[in-house]
Chains A and B, each alone.
Chain A
Amino acid sequence: MNRIVTLCLLAGWVSIVAPVHAKPIRDAAGEFAAGKALLAHADFEEALKTFKTAARKDAENQEYAQQYALLRQVIKLRKDCPREQDPERWLKTAGALRAYYYDHQIHAEALPLDQERYRRQPSAESAVLLAETQLALGRNSEAAETLGNLPDGQTSARVGVLHGLALARLGRIDEAKKLAEKPEMETDEAGPLYFLDLARVRVLLGNARGALYALTRSFQLTPPSQLDALKSQVKVNAEFSSLLEHPDFAQVLKTSSRVEESGCSKGPSCGQCPKRATCGQGKAQKSDD
């Protein structure tokens, strides 16, 4: 009887423990997804190993190899950045790292960089970068303080929108309205992120039509290669959930980009090239062969 009980207990233990210890067999896509998940938790070294495994398992997939190469470079830059003596090179390195962190939504890693940049070069530009990160991390009062401390001469539409967003999130609606509902906020010189933040503020201020207008402008100014990702983010972002029911929201999601973009470089470097839409991709190669 004892033996049966022991065997049952053993079987039970194995059935519980074995799946925990067994390494799941993943395909390349699984490895890559796991690497991204590790990256989201800022586990760079493990993510690098996983990306390498993904690239090995599917050598044809250029994205896996590219992400592996990029992360390897980022890890090196993370080590070099604190040791960098040349202020200009430090700024560039910090910018490169920040771009990577923002691409992968690792805002917590960007915060010390932005704080350091603000410490080294206190200006509206560095304050905006710092406030962006603080807002992304939900540190709204810190963001409001960062932007509120700027002298009047250094404020801009961008500062106004971010400050308004911080205040609106803190429930200081009237103050936020004063900052974010000025006519000059709909400037033609701003980028897609500016209008995205303007839409955020307007949602919080209950101005749905203004928010939809800002979203439309943001989509129009986003390069075609990044537009689908942005639209997907907007659809699942809780900040825009109140817009989902709006009758015009579906129409706004159909907005197409007005930015010209080269297919090979994802930038405007190919000028008038008639093949710019597909240059360097499979279709273009087929027509050339």
Chain B
Amino acid sequence: MGTARRVAWANLFARAVLSIRTATVKERARSRQDVDSGHRPLAHKAHLFNGTRMRTTRRAIQLGFLLLTLGGVFVFRGNAERWCPFGGIEALYTYVKEGNLACSLAVSNFYILAAVVLMTLLLRRAFCAYMCPIGTISEWLQRCAAKVGVRPFRVPPSLDRSLSVLKYTVLAIILYFTYTTAELVFRGYDPCYALISRHGEDITFWAYVVAGIIVIGSLVLTLPFCRWLCPLAAVLNPVSRVGLARVRRDGEACLDCGDCAAACPMDIPVDKVEQVTAARCLSCLSCVDVCPARSDGAMTWGPPPWLGRRWSNGVLVGILLSCTAVAVMASYVFPLPSFVKTRGQAPEVTAAVDLDITGLTCRGTANLLVYFLERDDEFELKGYLKLEAWPGPGAAPARVTFDPSQSSEAAVKQAITEPYYDALGGLWRFSPFVIKGYDPLGIDEDATEEGGAQDDVVEEEAAEEYGTAGG
């Protein structure tokens, strides 16, 4: 680096530091004036936290979560579906009714949904403004369009209200078909799933058509998906309506410039209300950021006054991050099974066997496992039976609880792995399941011999005893 450039950088840095210090001195002076005149010290405190820094903080959080999602999906090849709060809504009915979840969903969906609902109770729809990758992409697309001179089209309030009803219709349709079929029937059309599944095998062409419409819409409209179509927004809105933290406008200090309303991405008429009660408020604090009289307390954000204290931006960030962290931790510390099936009344004494089963990938295969456990041939498991499973890739954990007076661990393993004759279909069904550490065929026990062709194992005995080596 040349000397001239170093000097230029040093000057720039010095100027920046100087401007911050000057600003701080000015703020302090104004603060002192306010205190001296008895003029809203709390509002000023709010301003200190809710200054332009919030926009930067929000963008940093958005970027963090977007990178986390994309990294998790494309670098670590994780199943992002299991962390979608809307997945929790879709899975709820089937889980309560049948004790199992649709394919690819997990109990983590419930934990993350609970966290998002809690966030919404405290911060209103802050999840949408800070964490949702779709919201982030949509917002950034519009910002990019603005940079090249594309101004967003402002939808008339009456049309906006009509379009807002769409998301409730979308939610109703999705829930109706998901609850009646117990499967994610719209997944193939879901642009979010197309992205997070890395173009999964059940993606249809329409998923990209919908994605294209959202992308183009985001260039000319402000957050069209979040405002009018997002089914999660339809779920969160009633919760947000009673949310704790709110933007407040002081009519006396307000300059009536209308900048706050113009800055609101959800087109809320902030300049016309004393308190933003609209459920669609994202707590993005753009209105507070742009307010020219915010230092006079014209725009503030925080919980109701009866709580006594205002919240800083740090509280907002802290609530978002801690709720998410607790949900993630809970899904590992309390891993409730995502598939539960029980047969019969539990006896006083039960026994359980924990198995790692390959081939137990989803709800469909978990149902197939039940099919094998409830077989009616010589490997029949009599009496009480309970399957708790965590279907997933690789060796998925499962726990089978049984009546030890009528069954055994070995019988459970045989029931899972032995071929079964389906008398109704008139055909043999092979078990696709492999239990880790269990060699039902006795194939591995003497595999050290060359090719095994010359071994002296009496096949007849093996046939009669159904060797249960390993396990």
Contacts of A270 in B (CB 8 A): 364, 367
Q: Do A272 and B452 have beta carbons less than 8 Å apart?
A: no
Chain B positions within 8 Å of A23 at CB level: 453
Identify which of B362, B371, B419, B428 contacts A275 (C-beta below 8 A).
B362
Query: Which of A68, A73, A92, A271 is most buried by chain B, counting CB atoms within 10 A of its CB?
Result: A73
Checking A69, A264, A273, A277 against B432 with a beta-carbon cut-off of 8 angstroms, the contacting residue is: A264
Report whether A272 and B201 are in contact in the complex, using a CB–CB cutoff of 8 Å: no
- Contact: B451 with A56, CB < 8 Å? yes
Question: Is B368 within 8 A of A76, CB to CB?
Answer: no
Question: In the complex, what distance in Å separates the CA atom of A72 from the CA atom of B363?
Answer: 30
Once A75-B463, A96-B421, A278-B201 are accepted as A-B contacts, the answer to whether A284 and B361 lie under 8 Å apart by CB is yes
| Partner-binding segment picked from B161-169, B179-187, B305-313 | B179-187
A79 to chain B: which residues have CB within 8 Å?
464
Are A100 and B428 interface neighbours, CB within 8 A? Answer: yes
Instruction: Answer whether residue B31 sits at the interface, using C-beta atoms and an 8 A cutoff.
Output: no
Across-interface contacts of A278 in B (CB, < 8 A)? 201
Asked whether B103 is an interface residue with its Cβ less than 8 Å from the other chain, the reply is yes
Q: Is B8 interfacial (CB 8 A cutoff)?
A: no
How big is chain B's contact interface, by range? Answer: 35 or more
- Find the A residue at minimum CB distance from B419: A70
Q: Tell me the dominant secondary structure on chain B's binding face.
A: loop
Q: How far is the CB of B395 from chain A (nearest CB, A)?
A: 11
Q: Contacts A69-B419, A270-B364, A279-B365 given: A96-B428 contact, CB under 8 Å?
A: yes
Partner of A269, one of B200, B368, B417, B453: B368
B71 CB to nearest A CB, Å: 15
Closest to A75 in B: B463
Q: Cβ of B457: which chain A residues have Cβ within 8 Å of it?
A: 52
- Rounded to whole angstroms, the CA-CA distance of A1 and B77 in the bound complex is 79
Contact code string A98-142 (vs B, CB < 8 Å = 1, else 0): 011001000000000000000000000000000000000000000
- Known A-B contacts A57-B452, A59-B444; A274 and B359 likewise in contact (beta carbons under 8 Å): no
**Of the residues B79, B426, B463, contact of A48 by C-beta under 8 Å:** B463
Give the nearest-CB partner of A50 in chain B.
Answer: B453
Given contacts A55-B443, A68-B443, contact A280 B423 (CB under 8 A): no
Whether the pair A76, B464 counts as a contact (CB closer than 8 A) is yes
Given contacts A53-B453, A56-B452, A273-B183, contact A264 B364 (CB under 8 A): yes
Chain B residue at minimal CB-CB distance from A285: B393
Given A75-B463, A267-B422, A274-B184, residue A99 in contact with residue B428 (CB < 8 A): yes
CA distance A284 to B443 in the complex (A): 28
A268 nearest CB neighbor, chain B only: B425
Residue in contact with A55 in the complex, picked from B365, B368, B441, CB distance below 8 Å: B441
Asked whether, in the complex, the Cβ of B441 is within 8 Å of the Cβ of A68, the reply is yes
* Cα A53 to Cα B449 with chains together (Å): 11
* Contact bitstring B387-421, A, C-beta under 8 A = 1, else 0: 00000111000000000000000000000011101
Enumerate 17 A-B pairs (CB-CB under 8 Å) in ascending A order.
A52-B457, A53-B452, A53-B453, A55-B441, A55-B443, A56-B451, A69-B430, A69-B440, A72-B463, A92-B377, A92-B421, A99-B428, A269-B371, A270-B364, A274-B185, A275-B362, A283-B201
